[in-house]
Amino acid sequence: MATLAAVTVPQAPAQAIIGGATAGHLRGAVQVNARGAYVCAGILIDTRWVLTAEHCVEAYSTQEVTVLAGSRERGAGQSRGVIRIEEFGLGDAALLQLGSAVTQMPPVAMIQPGLLPAINTNLAASGWGNTVANSPWSVLAPALRVCTVRVTNYGLNEDGVYQLQGVWSDGIQGSGDSGGPLSNGNHVAVGMTTHTRDQERAFLGIALGDPKLRHWIDFEKARQPAGG
């Protein structure tokens, strides 16, 4: 991949799934809860591993975090405890190792390492977050929602990790939910939403094809294999 200019990070973590429609497919999305309440979406990348945004879980211990998988309804699904949280450190990403395997949904397919979606590609952003724009109160989606976003640029953050930058493109206000998948038309996860800037209808996500991110994921999974 060519080296590109650094991208500008939007001002706030993504905490909403504004606009869009009720999702017909999970696209690998799971619910990340802390202290019994929904905090963010996550991506099931293996039967015992969830990728989510670091800012979603950095304030919590493993005992406080759980995952619900296999249901589009918020608060429903197969519950799994978290036995390990690892922070990426080079971008807004964290890995959650689950205490037992998820069996009610398959892990998502991820884009091949080293690949990025083309500029102007439309992606599906999924999540259960706030459904009211610029609201001080959370009005969480009762079921998984999905909206269309368009990739307008990608570049490197200060640590040399590829980020996807784009805008909401479905004609209505819509943004992704932190930790939720950014998927292509084949339901392959190519990114993960991390930040939004509502006033500019912009979003930022980490590129799941980034070599540093994928090396870190493989390293952490091998360092303490599931079941080990």
Domain edges within the chain: 12-22+109-207, 29-107+211-223
Q: What dotted CATH number matches 29-107+211-223?
A: 2.40.10.10
Q: Exposed (0-12), middle (13-18) or buried (19+): which is 103, by Cβ within 10 Å? A: exposed
pLDDT of residue 177 exceeding 50, the answer is yes
CATH of 12-22+109-207, one of 2.30.42.10, 2.40.10.10, 2.60.40.420, 3.40.50.620: 2.40.10.10
155 φψ region: left (φ > 0), alpha (ψ -120 to 50), beta (else): beta
% of the chain at pLDDT higher than 90: 61
pLDDT of residue 105 exceeding 90, the answer is yes
pLDDT tens digit string along 39-72?
A: 999 999 999 999 999 999 999 999 999 999 999 9
12-22+109-207 shares its CATH topology with 29-107+211-223: yes
pLDDT of residue 133 exceeding 80, the answer is no
pTM for this structure?
A: 0.87
